[in-house]
Structure 1
Amino acid sequence: MNLAERLGHAPDARLLIVNADDLGMCLSANTGILALLDAGAISSATVMTPCSWAPAAIGAAGGHDVGVHLTLTSEWDSYRWGPVTRDAPVSSLVDADGYFPRDCRTVEERANPDEVYRELRAQVLKAISLGLDPSHADNHVTPPPG
C-alpha cells in the first residue's frame, strides 16, 4: 500500500501537501498560519519549539496536522532563540550570546553530532509535552549571510 492509499486516496492519486513552517516563532506567525489552517488554505504546519510562542501555537492548533520544525539556527537580529535542552551540555550549538548560530554553515562547521541529536530529540519531546502529537518533522534552514 502506498502513501496515497494509506491516506484514503486512490493508488495513482497525486497529492499536494502545503506546509507552513515557523509556527510558534511569534504571535503574527501563529495568527496567520492558524488562520490558513482553519480556512483549509494549507495542509499542515510545523512548530518551532525553541521559540516563545510555541506553547500558544500548540494550544491553538488542535485538530490540525502539525509537526515539529527542527531548529538549530536563529537568524533574526533583534529576536533570537536557543536550545531547549536543559539537562546536558549543548555548547557546540550556541554562539557567544547563548543563542543558536545565525546560519547553517556555522552549525555544519561547529556542531557536535551527539549534541545535535540531543537537541533535536529535546525539541520533539517538548512539543509532545506541550500536547502535540507530531505528524511529521522538517528543518529550519537559514542561508549563509551575503
Structure 2
Amino acid sequence: MDVKPDDPRRDDVMALLLEHLDDMRATSPPDSIHALDVDALAEPGITFVTARDGDVLLGCGALKELSADHGEVKSMRTTAAARGRGVAATVLSWLLAEARTRGLSRVSLETGTQDYFAAAHRLYLQHGFVDCGPFGDYTLDPHSRYMTIALD
C-alpha cells in the first residue's frame, strides 16, 4: 500500500468522494455535514492523499492547516473493497506524520455521532485522539463529535 499526495480530481477519487458525501447526506442532517467537496480538497492549505495498491484506489484522507500549529483531518474514506485491510489507519498515520513534519502541535477532527461512525471513533481513539469541544468554525452540534490529539 502506497500513501502519497494525489489529485482529488482523478476520476476514481471523485467517485469515492461522491460516495462519501452521499453517505454523509444519508446519515446526518444537512447542517451537520462538514465533508469537503473535490474543489475544496484541491485548495492551497490542504494536503490530499490517497492510498493505492498499484493503480487501485484503496482510500483517501486530507490534512487541512487551520493555523501555524493546528491541523484538521478531513475526508477520511476507504473503498468498500478495501475495508478491514488497515487502509484508514495507514492514511491517518501518514497524515499525523506529515503534521509533525510541518511542526503542528495539534490535529483535530469532526466526525458524526451516529452508529454509522463507530468504526471511525474506534480508529481515532486507537491513534490517541481524545474528545474535545468545537474548534475552528465549528459550533456545538449533537450530530458532531470533535476529537483532538497533541503531537509530540
| TM-score in same-fold range (> 0.5) | no
From the two aligned structures, give the one with the greater strand fraction. Answer: 2
Higher relative contact order (CA 8 A, sep 6+): 1
TM-score normalised by the chain length of structure 1? 0.30
